[in-house]
Structure 1
């Protein structure tokens, strides 16, 4: 494993006589909340001649001090308004360096306006910016990337552009002396901190410069231009803040805008010097709002009117997510990582999102832990980083697992790259930080798909320690379908050896359900039965005949069985479904505060891309479930963890001894509630259960019931929104001999996601999309009913609690 290095570059190394093409390589770096590579700490002012005049007033200044929600930004010099483009999210303001800052969302908000003040041989464009993430791109190899822009005003043959690509490389391009000229920063752009940047055209001094002032110290890069060169201004083109000069779209999504906060953007008609810029940074940063937990928060305004977004389920602050993974207890807190696109509700170039909790219910979002990085393959094409590195995830950081050993957390993750080794592969990163904000990646991958396994594909490692041996299983694809790879080591930071025998004593072909690959494996001891330790193996088969919307459904399945230290012997070849009804999959697990095994999975969308774009987010996680072995010794039991009771807001509304034929309206109502309905199993109709999400006019309603054989969710009228792709009735076989006849329905409703537990033993999670609103704009489909058909059912007691949010209230 390599560690971060600080390379002090001689000043002459950055003095270019031609536009930058081959920049000096960088040493290995460690991300500290995305801190910049400290590769070239340059003494202030050492690279260029001082400007003749550096005290002029700006000819444009955007301070962004309008109130949160304002769609205009005033140019305080020209007194004209810039317009904030809004189509999905509102025009947000957050605490900035001085006053408010402008928050862009990465896909639908940016600012545009006119700027025509004449600029000739000298110009400075400067701004404060806190960048949450590097812009997305369409997962192209390095030499086919399309950058985003921090700020630009350009046409094909005039103007300027401060551009940045998906790996954090950035540069300043300006049309000077009759041609485009570029100075490229030899440092990656800092993340999660306020920095001040400035791009300077100094025709009088014969330089094009790029300045960065950040926590690591002032830096300057420059290239020579002909003395007296004049800047060609694109005065008729708009000045744009927070969006690329060349759009990249996929389907309905714009994917390469910027996810950032901006403050105090200025343009000068002089070439400002480093001393003045650094002085402004030093005075400004002293009073700036903390970037990662204030300026880069999502404001309360963004989802204030969203009646579908969950409030007490774990999920990212915005945009797109996939499976949670790597749930681990480290230094008295739980850390959960997850697949994340931080820049919009679309799936491109996965990061590892990160959130923390002390009880697995209340969560705090943290800066992303891992992100795609450059390899030696890209460095040979001219990238400023990646030299000598491999397996860094240039195409994405996919799912994995985290274990904590003696104060050090070790993350093993699927790395996907643009060719070369470890495409895909397994790579390791480590952290000794109590908050797991700082990670150091290994300089190369740990396991390659093609050596020694030669499987068609693999992903999603899962680890555990037994005695002195560490075990890793990896979801795999073979010619016969889904399977597992198994590796062991005595040293978690050492070499891994492929097991000589298959992980299971039963062939994977006979265990598979017709998939192409098994994802997200989990293997844990689950209990003891008849004097023998029992284990559970959970996988999520996908592809081939497995489908999201038709049988066999994409879902997690499991086997119970025994383990001899090297092989698992399942109790049965054909797996059991983790959920009664599909809709929840890929759980990540850890032992909870009381030592019991807890699982949290993804409950993915059943909505169109257009609806996800309109909402500005996609997918959520399940309520945490406690896993245990049921009395038959071969079935996994699931119930809500006790800590969920801490969400209850006051006392329950209770109805007792209600005999129901048809539907009975409860006095309680809500779309953020917990329902505990108890039934006399000796007094039931042929079909009985609950109705949730009922609108006053009956146009929207979801029924959940038992019909004597199956658990049913009827979503045919769950939503009047035509973007709902699963408005159907779904059935799931219910094993009454194992679970018992349903006598308890424990249901958690959180706007568009529900978690259902039957008899504290069987479970499923699903999505509904009630969209009816009242005259006041509030959600109208909040009715709750008891349900019975084919006879009368006696509900002995029904309790309904209103539930609080699991997240801190936004401060702005």
Structure 2
């Protein structure tokens, strides 16, 4: 089918009649997406053709649009694809509204662009393309020749944007919000459309698959009012279309609908986590203008780890969090500003100077040489910490006099007097360590590498077989026998450290003393011992970020990462979750960190009147009358028992096909996950033990247990703790039991609170 311009003489009355039908006749396709949420297709209003929506496990979504509803693509598994059978046209206008949450991802070492929409083959059609940095352009075939029209500015984020292109007599124009942003005279002739290819919206012309599972270069956006016309619309017409929807709010259009995970029985409900997709370590937990901000590693486009952003969430109580715009995302380095993280923005820290200005220091990784990796700096006075001025790289791994390091990442900062101190997790030869820098002017971007090592003990002696230390934290803990005691917390990875077998990747720490004159010169940490202690009794929680609360207590939130697999995460649409907020303190021995849940978690309790069972003598298993998978349970018992094992069972199905057992065996805290799930192929389905220092922590007589669907946290005697992941396959795996083996254990009381979901 070809549209040709012809001159036809008709009587005036017939011309008037024809013009009255002109708008309808010229429109070839019009998608409004006004179906109800979850509908798996949309309808072309012109031809009544059904356009299927491709999706995997997550049903297609409708969100508030410019007019009625809009179609929400999730960035990796949802897109529209339907047939559009026009072969050519001598005039063409394609337009749509788009609210883009993020630029598309791509594998770090194989950069592949994406497409906002396209109908394209190798030799025909059009492709409105965009890359991972927001650069976008139109590829179009006119008179059997391919042409590219490049937009001069990045595509807007966090706005409803009206985008269009027109073609007539070889002149192609690219519009944004009714204004021409680029144009090109090509050749006179018809636009050759790829009628043998589908019209696709929200998916790349050349999809990129990672690990054989994840499609990584899709579009994460909302679309509305998509039209194709066989005329060359004027600038005035396109401006009118823009003005009609100009003031449409974008926030709810790109917010993840609550319906997306409402039936997901594994997704946590009161733990902090991003609204969807992949997350990694939280960092930069900081108090700013009456709120706590937590920044975190984020891939907004899917449950995979490519082209990392800095997510941003804020809270007044460490429990209820508001999601804000991403603070940083990968950008192309320029001649003036290097270290912008063209491969990704990795972890770091945020501090506030004495004038109330925020400073972010982050790990920059780049495709080009400078600051790969490196430490980059940005500053902000924005009340929401959404808008930042990026100053670029300040410390490069390859800078002379950086020492015997082969890698480094994750800066952590603090101020004493007028001196700022920065430590950076590093690979020091064949072991992990920290690099150490100081500055007397945080606004200068000038940092001096310390002449002395941060620790008085060689890192090679302190290391436990890793290749690099990540996410260092250095904080004052308290007084002990007249001495100020500090803690150095790190997460050793690589080398001998493994995720799913000992020695496990986990956070470790040393306590010790710190000497610094506070006058611009470096200090030094002297650890109390060379072999570090585990922050958690059992592995699973890692990389805490810390901040002082209003009582000057040290609050920590880390990550409790997945123990599933890639396909499982792809199906769920999210991966990893943050830990509960914990209060860290120095225990009585002066060398051990004690941890308790932050008291703000009490606000989650549904009822002030707790459920209780008291004075229970158990030898074997005792089923509790209350059950659930979103609750807090506190068990107190008489630790003077002859039982060889005592503890509890959670996530238990009615027929005991599934359950997770936690107990003390006289030496170790144990989590038995042999029957935690009927799902096959997950990473951990065994018995895991952690050494328990009974002399410091006391024999377990109190278990405070938080269950949140697929994550559990167990605090012991208000001192020790661990967090772990479980994946019960059955929605009725909610039973709770007390447990004792070998002898009777007296459980004094079980107090239980069903918990609300956090905001």
8 A contact 2:373–2:396 mirrored in 1: no
8 A contact 1:390–1:445 mirrored in 2: no
Give the 5 Å matches for 1:541-580. 541-565=492-516, 566-580=523-537
Give the 5 Å matches for 1:569-608. 569-608=526-565
Question: Which whole-Å CA distance do the structure 2 matches of 1:159 and 1:587 have between them?
Answer: 50
Question: Which whole-Å CA distance do the structure 2 matches of 1:527 and 1:515 have between them?
Answer: 29
What's the secondary structure of 1:294's corresponding residue?
A: helix
Give the aligned length.
727
Q: What are the Cα deviations for residues 300-346 of structure 1, in whole angstroms up to 9, with x where unaligned?
A: 22112111110000111111011000000111011101111111111
What's the secondary structure of 2:671's corresponding residue?
A: strand
8 A contact 1:611–1:723 mirrored in 2: no
Give the 5 Å matches for 1:253-292. 253-286=214-247, 288=248, 290-291=249-250
* 2:382 aligned with 1:426: no
Given the alignment, which residue of 498, 503, 508 partners 2:454?
Answer: 503
Question: Which whole-Å CA distance do the structure 2 matches of 1:551 and 1:725 have between them?
Answer: 14
Question: Which whole-Å CA distance do the structure 1 matches of 2:337 and 2:382 have between them?
Answer: 23
Question: Which whole-Å CA distance do the structure 1 matches of 2:344 and 2:642 have between them?
Answer: 52
* 2:702 aligned with 1:741: no
Question: Which whole-Å CA distance do the structure 1 matches of 2:437 and 2:396 have between them?
Answer: 9
Give the 5 Å matches for 1:447-466. 447-454=396-403, 455-466=405-416
Q: What are the Cα deviations for residues 33-86 of structure 1, in whole angstroms up to 9, with x where unaligned?
A: xxxxxxxxxxxxxxxxxxxx9997422100000000000101001111100101
What's the secondary structure of 1:433's corresponding residue?
A: coil
The corresponding residue for 1:440 is 389
Instruction: Give the Å deviation of 1:119.
Output: 3.9
Give the 5 Å matches for 1:610-649. 610-649=567-606
User: Which shows bigger deviation, 69-78 or 54-63?
Assistant: 54-63
8 A contact 1:603–1:622 mirrored in 2: yes
Instruction: Give the Å deviation of 1:699.
Output: 0.5
Question: Which whole-Å CA distance do the structure 2 matches of 1:556 and 1:707 have between them?
Answer: 24
The corresponding residue for 1:232 is 192
The corresponding residue for 1:28 is none
* 2:147 aligned with 1:181: yes
The corresponding residue for 1:106 is 75
Where do 5+ consecutive residues of structure 1 fail to align?
Answer: 1-52, 377-386, 773-778, 808-812
Q: What are the Cα deviations for residues 564-608 of structure 1, in whole angstroms up to 9, with x where unaligned?
A: 010000000000000000000000000124321010001010001
The corresponding residue for 2:435 is 485
Given the alignment, which residue of 724, 741, 745 partners 1:793?
Answer: 745
Question: Which whole-Å CA distance do the structure 2 matches of 1:118 and 1:417 have between them?
Answer: 43
Given the alignment, which residue of 686, 701, 712 partners 2:670?
Answer: 712
* TM-score normalised per structure 1: 0.88
8 A contact 2:115–2:130 mirrored in 1: yes
Question: Which whole-Å CA distance do the structure 2 matches of 1:119 and 1:284 have between them?
Answer: 30
The corresponding residue for 1:87 is 56
Question: Which whole-Å CA distance do the structure 2 matches of 1:693 and 1:55 have between them?
Answer: 59
What's the secondary structure of 2:603's corresponding residue?
A: helix
The corresponding residue for 1:776 is none
Q: What are the Cα deviations for residues 432-452 of structure 1, in whole angstroms up to 9, with x where unaligned?
A: 111111111004444444333
Instruction: Give the Å deviation of 1:110.
Output: 0.3
* 2:363 aligned with 1:414: yes
Q: Larger relative CO (CA 8 A, sep 6+): 1 or 2? A: 1
Instruction: Give the Å deviation of 1:484.
Output: 0.5
Given the alignment, which residue of 125, 147, 153 partners 1:159?
Answer: 125
Give the 5 Å matches for 1:466-481. 466-481=416-431
Structure-2 change in CA distance of 1:466 and 1:447 (3 Å)? farther
Instruction: Give the Å deviation of 1:723.
Output: 3.0
The corresponding residue for 1:389 is 337
Structure-2 change in CA distance of 1:330 and 1:704 (3 Å)? same
8 A contact 2:87–2:194 mirrored in 1: no
What's the secondary structure of 1:555's corresponding residue?
A: coil
The corresponding residue for 1:128 is 97
Q: What are the Cα deviations for residues 647-673 of structure 1, in whole angstroms up to 9, with x where unaligned?
A: 001132110111111111111100011
The corresponding residue for 2:485 is 534
What's the secondary structure of 2:102's corresponding residue?
A: coil
8 A contact 2:372–2:396 mirrored in 1: no
Give the 5 Å matches for 1:22-61. 57-61=26-30
What's the secondary structure of 1:793's corresponding residue?
A: strand
The corresponding residue for 1:361 is 319
Question: Which whole-Å CA distance do the structure 2 matches of 1:445 and 1:82 have between them?
Answer: 51
What's the secondary structure of 2:270's corresponding residue?
A: coil
Q: What are the Cα deviations for residues 616-652 of structure 1, in whole angstroms up to 9, with x where unaligned?
A: 1110111111000000000000010100000001132
The corresponding residue for 1:209 is 173
The corresponding residue for 1:804 is 756
The corresponding residue for 2:328 is 370
The corresponding residue for 2:303 is 345
Give the 5 Å matches for 1:515-530. 515-530=466-481
User: Which shows bigger deviation, 92-101 or 277-286?
Assistant: 277-286
Instruction: Give the Å deviation of 1:285.
Output: 2.0
Q: What are the Cα deviations for residues 732-773 of structure 1, in whole angstroms up to 9, with x where unaligned?
A: 00001100111100010000011110001000100000111x
What's the secondary structure of 1:491's corresponding residue?
A: coil
Q: What are the Cα deviations for residues 535-570 of structure 1, in whole angstroms up to 9, with x where unaligned?
A: 000000000111101111100000000000100000
What's the secondary structure of 1:261's corresponding residue?
A: strand
Question: Which whole-Å CA distance do the structure 1 matches of 2:106 and 2:483 have between them?
Answer: 52
Question: Which whole-Å CA distance do the structure 2 matches of 1:694 and 1:355 have between them?
Answer: 34
Instruction: Give the Å deviation of 1:108.
Output: 0.4
Question: Which whole-Å CA distance do the structure 2 matches of 1:346 and 1:488 have between them?
Answer: 36
The corresponding residue for 2:19 is none
What's the secondary structure of 1:132's corresponding residue?
A: strand
What's the secondary structure of 2:192's corresponding residue?
A: coil
The corresponding residue for 2:3 is none
* TM-score normalised per structure 2: 0.94
Question: Which whole-Å CA distance do the structure 2 matches of 1:246 and 1:461 have between them?
Answer: 37
What's the secondary structure of 1:209's corresponding residue?
A: strand
Instruction: Give the Å deviation of 1:218.
Output: 3.6
Given the alignment, which residue of 650, 657, 660 partners 1:699?
Answer: 657
Instruction: Give the Å deviation of 1:463.
Output: 0.3
Question: Which whole-Å CA distance do the structure 2 matches of 1:452 and 1:74 have between them?
Answer: 64
Given the alignment, which residue of 209, 214, 217 partners 1:249?
Answer: 209
Question: Which whole-Å CA distance do the structure 2 matches of 1:124 and 1:56 have between them?
Answer: 14
Structure-2 change in CA distance of 1:489 and 1:645 (3 Å)? same
What's the secondary structure of 1:544's corresponding residue?
A: coil
